[in-house]
Amino acid sequence: MNEKRAKSVLEQPPASEAPEGYVDIEYVVEPNYAGWRLDRYLGEKIRRLSRPRIQRIIQRGLVCERRLKPSTLVFPGLTFSIRRSLSTEPETPTELPIVYQDDWLLVLDKPAGLPIHPTARYQKGTLVSLLRERFGERFAEPAHRLDRETSGLVVCGRTTEACRVLGRLFLSRDVHKEYLAVCEGHPPEDTFFVDAPIAEGTELIRIAVRIDRAEGKESRTRFQVLQRFVRDGAPFALLRCYPETGRQHQIRIHLHEAGFPLVGDKMYGPDPGYFDRFSKHCLEPEAWERLRLPRHALHAGHIAFPHPGTRQAVSFDSPLPGDLVDFMDGKALAPGPGEGSESAA
């Protein structure tokens, strides 16, 4: 291991404590967002909110030692909070398995149901909050994001330099990622490829994406069938997914486009209205039965990239989690109501 050390992830003095009945949702700007407008940065972190709404939140005032405007250019380590009234927070997993740790990196195996970053609905029950609670402030910062329901590998940087290098690697597509997915149906070919441009937003769900060959950005995913199986008389398959680009919800929308949606996907599954009703806590029992799983069946199982300190290739793996193994084995499951809407994190 290269002993070269970068400065610890920037430390900031704590903001004033939120009054009773309120909570401060803290943000610390990562090195790869340097030079972004503040409203664009928050739009990336809170994708469910429109840019005009984010601008209004900033204009009303953020908890920060300096005055911030929507046009403020952010810099690494800038710390601020959004103060909001406290509401009952849904329960989320509390385990945080460590796959690898050194002076530069922390690789975690995120359980399904755990958001990565704090949101309006999730403040304490997030990967970032658990990291700070267990290891202290600025111990590590996630270098990328997974959807709340997606399980698997999350890479975190432990120094400012590591965060900067990792951010550049993810943006430049120098990170090789593989996912495991359980889809509906039996794809006829053992390998297939989806090349379908992705654009943000749909008529029903603002945070969803859509296939749009006129306005979408290039998006390509290769799929390999690992196993075909039948459960309760219906066909399913275990796939290995190789995203060649890194668009939001790419694997999910591409499987929907191919006609083999993810099991349990409320946004790109059998009914476009499921997600709205799920968000409002009124998804009917028949819908849960049709979804078959309480979360979408996607797992980040492999990741490889140059180490930010040594520049040597490193790779990490996570096995298929128990709920998906049980589904494939035909074991009894108990799908039921989830809590809250899906986080973009």
DSSP assignment of 163-183, as one string?
Answer: HHHHHHHHHTT--EEEEEEEE
Q: Which amino acid is at 221?
A: T
Cα separation of the two ends of the chain = 31
Q: What are the residues facing 27 on neighbouring strands?
A: 80
Strands (E), 86-233: 98-101, 105-110, 141-142, 151-157, 176-184, 191-195, 198-200, 209-211, 220-231
Handedness of CA 140, 76, 129, 279 (dihedral sign): negative
Bridge-based pairing state of the strands 313-317 and 298-306: antiparallel
**Which residue among the candidates 24, 147, 265, 323 is catalytic per the annotation?**
147
How confident is the model at residue 319, as a pLDDT? 96
CATH 3.30.2350.10 in the chain is located at 98-329
Query: How many residues comprise the chain?
Result: 345
How confident is the model at residue 4, as a pLDDT? 39
How confident is the model at residue 205, as a pLDDT? 64
> CATH classification of 98-329 is 3.30.2350.10, yes or no?
yes
Candidate CATH numbers 2.60.40.420, 3.40.50.1860, 3.40.710.10, 3.10.290.10; the one for domain 22-85: 3.10.290.10
CA distances from 238 to 181, 184, 234 (A): 6, 9, 14
CATH 3.10.290.10 in the chain is located at 22-85
Whose CA is closest to 336, among 293, 299, 296?
293
How confident is the model at residue 18, as a pLDDT? 65
Catalytic residue flag (residue 147)? yes
How confident is the model at residue 60, as a pLDDT? 84
Bridge-based pairing state of the strands 79-85 and 105-110: unpaired
How confident is the model at residue 183, as a pLDDT? 97
Query: Which of the 8 DSSP states describes residue 247?
Result: -
Full pLDDT tens readout for the chain, 345 residues: 443 333 333 333 444 566 666 777 788 888 878 899 999 998 888 776 778 888 988 988 888 888 899 999 999 888 888 887 766 677 889 999 999 999 999 999 999 999 998 776 777 789 998 999 899 878 999 999 899 999 999 999 999 999 999 989 988 888 999 999 999 999 999 999 999 999 887 666 667 788 888 888 999 999 999 999 999 999 999 999 999 998 889 999 999 999 999 999 988 887 777 776 776 677 778 777 888 899 999 999 999 999 999 999 999 999 999 999 999 999 877 545 443 444 333
How confident is the model at residue 342, as a pLDDT? 43
How confident is the model at residue 51, as a pLDDT? 84
